[in-house]
Amino acid sequence: MTDIARPSAPIARLGDRSLFPGLGPAAYLNHAGVSPPSVPVRRAVLELLEAYATTGGHAVVATLGVRARLREKLARLLGVRPVDVALTFGTTHGVQAIALSFPWLRGDRVVLFDGEFPANVTPWQRAAELFGLETVFIPLAPFEASADAGLGALEEALRRGARLVAVSAVQFRSGLLMPLAEMAALCARHGAELFVDAVQALGAVPFDAARIGADYVAGGGHKWLMGVEGAGALYVRPERVAALRPALAGWLSHEDPVSFLIEGAGHLRYDRPLRPDASVFEASSTGALAQAALDASLGLLLELGIPAIHAHANRYLDRLEPALQARGFSSHRARDASRRSCILAATPPPGRDPRRLRDALAREGVAVAIPDGLLRFAPQWPNDADRELDRVVAALDAALR
């Protein structure tokens, strides 16, 4: 436990991995998958766990402070009010909450995208089965060609009628940053609502849900937000709350839900109204340790600033991309810099098995992922091109031999 002893001030600096003393890979480039926890994150979890171990139920008092801080930080990250943010168990929880609580009518159409991560597809398919909806898939290829081409394809689908469009802010395979504000405007023009899976954007790409005009935004804490699995957030546009029919409601979804536990007899009731904001989806006891981790990590991210993180990661990728191309990889990174996330995905040279490449890179101390057969590089703020790139390039050469 000595590697997480409390320093005088655990300050995060771009390119400095000193807050990750136990991290094995010399170049950890899989932040789009699962990020390793920093020293402050690990400490926050251990301190709360110790509080439970020494005080039992009294530790819940500490979790109330964690939850309040976390909600404030998530609101800052999303560009919205804290009251419009629900604390969830992760992205899928947020997708499910809206998919099953939306005021559907039989025959409504839901627009999805062919190539999306399944977390933003399966809950909508399930809703279609339960409520008699029609799911319509449109390809991502037009968006990859240009924003205008993609928006044209979306508008064509909207003209045929749709209640909701569900899309990822950043595509997990290619790293493409979708034109969300323009998509939201199209949805509004055609009477549809926009749901955004932002798990590949939050913590890596500047994001403002209110400016975008999104109706719903879900995200999780274990990727770019650098927490651990089990904590996330759901934003609900305040104008949309009243129409929702919360299918995932529980005992904590009510107003004043715990008075019968702390104020004596006569407070046990089953007729309390549901809370009139996003927190109605906070239905049960939560993942307190995961929330403590996310609270600590968000403190570092907000201190660094998301625009600075985005620029830092893209400077790294600017140097990596030509090295990949020189070795026969085909980059899927957007040509337009305004449509770039912090992901660089590449198709391997002909005849090269991405699984073998991933494993060979891992043996050389370079951690990457292979979503759907692409080789994906995803640096975050601790990565440093000057320190790592020579090793990454040498590892690529070794893997290709």
Does residue 242 form part of some domain? yes
Name the pTM for this structure. Answer: 0.95
**pLDDT profile of the chain (401 residues), mean per 10:** 50 96 98 98 98 95 94 98 98 98 99 98 99 98 97 98 98 98 99 99 98 99 98 98 95 92 92 95 94 98 98 99 99 97 99 98 99 98 98 98 93
Same domain, residue pair 341 and 260: no
Task: Label each residue of the chain as H, E or C.
Answer: CHHHCCCCCCCCCCCCCCCCCCCCCCEECECCCCCCCCHHHHHHHHHHHHHHHHHHHHHHHHHHHHHHHHHHHHHHHHCCCHHHEEEECCHHHHHHHHHHHCCCCCCCEEEEEECCCHHHCHHHHHHHHHHCCEEEEEECHHHHHCHHHHHHHHHHHHHCCCCEEEEECECCCCCEECCHHHHHHHHHHCCCEEEEECCCCCCCCCCCHHHHCCCEEEEECCCCCCCCCCCEEEEECHHHHHHCCCCCCCHHHECCCCHHHHCCCCCCCCCCCECCCHHHHCCCCCCHHHHHHHHHHHHHHHHHCHHHHHHHHHHHHHHHHHHHHHCCCEECCCCCHHHECCCEEEECCCCCCHHHHHHHHHHCCEECECHHHCEEEECCCCCCHHHHHHHHHHHHHHHHC
- What is the CB-side half-sphere exposure of residue 274 using CA atoms within 13 A? 19
Same domain flag for 255 and 320: no
Number of domains in the chain: 2
Looking at the fold, whether 93 and 180 belong to one and the same domain comes out as yes
For residue 203, being part of any structural domain is answered with yes
pLDDT for the residue numbered 7: 46
Could you say which of 280, 301, 322 is where a domain stops?
301
Domain termination residue (choose one: 272, 301, 330): 301
Residue 186: exposure state from Cβ atoms within 10 A (0-12, 13-18, ≥19): buried
CATH number of the domain enclosing 228: 3.40.640.10
User: Is 43 among the domain residues?
Assistant: no
Q: Is 181 part of a structural domain of the chain?
A: yes
Residue partners of 279: CB distance under 8 A and separation at least 6:
83, 86, 87, 253
> Both 112 and 69 in a single domain?
yes
> Which domain, by its residues, includes 91?
60-301
The pLDDT of residue 43: 98
Question: Does one domain contain both 295 and 315?
Answer: no
Asked whether residue 172 falls in the same domain as residue 277, the answer is yes
29 and 129 within one domain: no
